[in-house]
Amino acid sequence: MAAILAPIEAMGAFSDVFSNLWTRTWERILDNKGKLTATGGLLVGIVLTLTFKDLYPDLEASFRRRLGRTRTNGTYHALPGQTDYVRLEDHTRTTSKAAVDEDDPRRTVITDDLEIPTGIEGLIGNTPLIKLRSLSEATGCDILAKAEFLNGAGNSPKDRVALSIITHAEEEGLLVPDRGDTIYEGTVGSTGISLAAVCRARGYKAHICMPSDAAVEKSDLLLKLGAIVERVKPASIVDSNQFVNLARRRAEEHTANADLPGRGFFADQFENTANYLAHQNTTGPEIYAQTSGSLDIFVAGAGTGGTISGVALALKPLLPDLHIVLADPQGSGLYNKIKNGVLFSSTETEGTRRRHQVDSIVEGIGINRLTANFSAGMHLIDDAVKVTDEQAMMMGRWLVEKEGLFVGASSCVNLVAAAVVAKKMRVEGKKDARIVTILCDSGSRHLSKFWKEAGEVGGKDVEFTLDVILAKG
């Protein structure tokens, strides 16, 4: 019996000891409750802070997804720059016409999933429109420039043209990717560069014919892009060996040769209407959206004529009072065609011509024949401005000195013409007019020719005023 009671008595003793220990501990807690409360609160705060730190990114991402679904389910959003643009903090206003009218071309749709562009084709178009502060201040008008040199394939507006020509040819069954097809084109550079880049991305080869007096850096770049380059002596368009005619013949020879893979396709940028359609379908609508439909004048040069025709065809139906102005370099006959109805340049006079194509240092714009692309929109062109080489080179220096922009020859011609038009508007009392033009490509493609003649800027202060530039015309 004693053996049974012994463990029970031991357990009772242990219970008494534990009870006494708990009582003394609890009394001490009550005596120090202030200190313990503060310490406990600190520890809890640290734990909560560390936990929230780890969870915050997930919470923020979840919140933004919910916000996106709440604000974007089928809702059209106004573009930045509109007077009633809805900021992120405001969840109540969607009164813009572009926000409620599904037929308004300014509208944009924001979706839950951010679309990631695919390949270099996804980097073509939607280039920014920038205000040129120095020219705007000097003229009293808003001069805006569409930065087409930021297209992501060949870094010029010809990216749009190259993609459009290839896409249309594919739709018509004239080109088949990875069949061994080669695209042939006659160009002074920019179209060839864009074609070479897009060809590589789409499974084609490029064969470019260009005049031997074009800037050498263009042909060097074409070679780096894997294109075959033929530099030929400059000649009139009636000459069978003129660079455009040669490209057409090379394409025909390829197709006729059974030993060559695929077929030859002549891009024909001057006559292929996929050129102006690229600008009618993309460049023009982009300008309308970026200006919210508020512009008075569009200024552009013309080589093939695709840009000025396409933009005019896109914008004139929406803005009947919009003025379309051609910027034409010296030696080109288009100025007289618009002003006087006759395609003629004074440099065509016997014994005065220095070049076979256009008597100008400017490459990319200026021509002495009517193309299908220029003809498509010629009836919509209201005026023309003639720009000399000297004016273009001085404008190039001005842009570096005042804007930090280093652009090519055709961009400088566009901006001289824009400034001339702006000054005219001011004289007529039409202040605060909004003028849009095109920045075509970088000056890095014109180092050996245009910029070699324009000279070094050298970090000097502005050497001349805008009025001095315009007086050189």
Q: Are 255 and 264 spatial neighbours (Cβ–Cβ below 8 Å)?
A: yes
Helices (H), 203-303: 216-224, 243-256, 274-278, 284-290
pLDDT value, residue 73 = 38
pLDDT value, residue 371 = 96
Residue 342: both structure tokens together: 């006759």
Distance of alpha carbon 148 from the chain centroid? 4
Q: Are strands 76-77 and 108-109 parallel, antiparallel or unpaired?
A: antiparallel
Give DSSP secondary structure letters for 185-199: EE-SSHHHHHHHHHH
4 C-beta neighbours (distance < 10 Å), count: 7
Q: Are strands 205-211 and 182-186 parallel, antiparallel or unpaired?
A: parallel
The helix (run of H) or strand (run of E) holding residue 11 is helix 2-31
What's 304's DSSP letter?
S
d(CA 169, CA 163): 10
Beta strand segments in 68-215, E: 76-77, 108-109, 129-131, 142-147, 182-186, 205-211
pLDDT value, residue 458 = 64
Residue 392: both structure tokens together: 């273009």
Nearest Cα neighbor of 466 from 434, 405, 411, 420 is 420
d(CA 374, CA 431): 30
Single-letter residue type at 123: L
Nearest Cα neighbor of 106 from 323, 320, 322, 318 is 318
pLDDT value, residue 105 = 55
Residue 332: both structure tokens together: 């080109």
Beta strand segments in 287-406, E: 297-300, 323-329, 383-387
pLDDT value, residue 405 = 95
Nearest Cα neighbor of 188 from 422, 355, 320 is 355
Cα distances (angstroms) measured from residue 275 to each of 28, 38, 290, 373? 90, 76, 22, 7
d(CA 311, CA 429): 27
Tens of pLDDT along the chain (473 residues) come to 555 545 555 555 556 655 676 677 666 666 666 665 666 666 666 666 666 555 555 655 555 555 444 333 333 333 444 444 333 444 344 444 444 456 655 455 555 567 888 999 999 999 999 999 999 999 999 999 999 999 999 999 999 999 999 999 999 999 999 999 999 999 988 999 999 999 999 999 999 999 999 889 999 999 999 999 999 999 988 899 999 999 999 999 999 999 999 999 999 999 999 999 999 999 999 999 999 999 999 999 999 999 999 999 999 999 999 999 999 999 999 999 999 999 877 655 444 444 444 578 898 899 999 999 999 999 999 999 999 999 999 999 999 999 999 999 999 999 999 999 999 998 888 878 999 999 999 989 898 889 888 888 766 565 789 999 999 87
Residue 263: both structure tokens together: 């077929």
33 is an active site residue: no
d(CA 291, CA 70): 28
Burial (Cβ within 10 Å: 0-12, 13-18, ≥19) of residue 231: middle
d(CA 368, CA 344): 7
Nearest Cα neighbor of 416 from 444, 394, 440 is 394
d(CA 45, CA 41): 6
The model's pTM is 0.75
What's 387's DSSP letter?
E
d(CA 97, CA 292): 10
Residue 309: both structure tokens together: 């025709």
pLDDT value, residue 6 = 54
The helix (run of H) or strand (run of E) holding residue 436 is strand 434-439
Dihedral of alpha carbons 218, 220, 222, 225, sign:
negative
Helix (H, G, I), strand (E, B) or coil at 307: helix
Nearest Cα neighbor of 189 from 207, 205, 210 is 210
d(CA 194, CA 225): 10
Single-letter residue type at 11: M
- Of 158, 218, 337, 386, the catalytic one is 158
d(CA 120, CA 122): 5
Helix (H, G, I), strand (E, B) or coil at 329: strand
